[in-house]
Structure 1
Amino acid sequence: MKNIRCLLTEDEIAEAVARLGEQLTQEYSDSELTILGVLTGSIVLEHLSFSFSVDLR
């Protein structure tokens, strides 16, 4: 098995997702947002979608 180097900790990723969620909430608070995930990024997108409060369709 190859050695895998950790680039970001779990906490760093969670903080970045929270910041992005806050930014999306501010930018899209007056409109409806459509999110489309591609298979390889869907897990991150799922966590991101829980971090903001914008109407989704």
Structure 2
Amino acid sequence: MIVWVVRPVPERGAHWVRPGLVAQIGFTEWTRDGMLRPPRFLGLRDDKRPEDVVRERPARG
């Protein structure tokens, strides 16, 4: 489960909402600039609340 904890610069007229859904995202790797390669939507999770999501760290090995 991936969560971005970056405060974006607000755009004029933007309307912010609270997270209400949790998605499962698959990917092969993180790029050096912190992007996912290639990301793919695996589905929605109903067993986890948005406030319980944490950014997973890759296992070293």
Structure scoring higher RCO (CA < 8 A, sep ≥ 6) equals 1
Q: Which bin holds the TM-score, normalised by the shorter protein?
A: under 0.3
Q: TM-score, normalised by structure 2?
A: 0.23
Question: Greater helix share, 1 or 2?
Answer: 1
Question: Greater strand share, 1 or 2?
Answer: 2
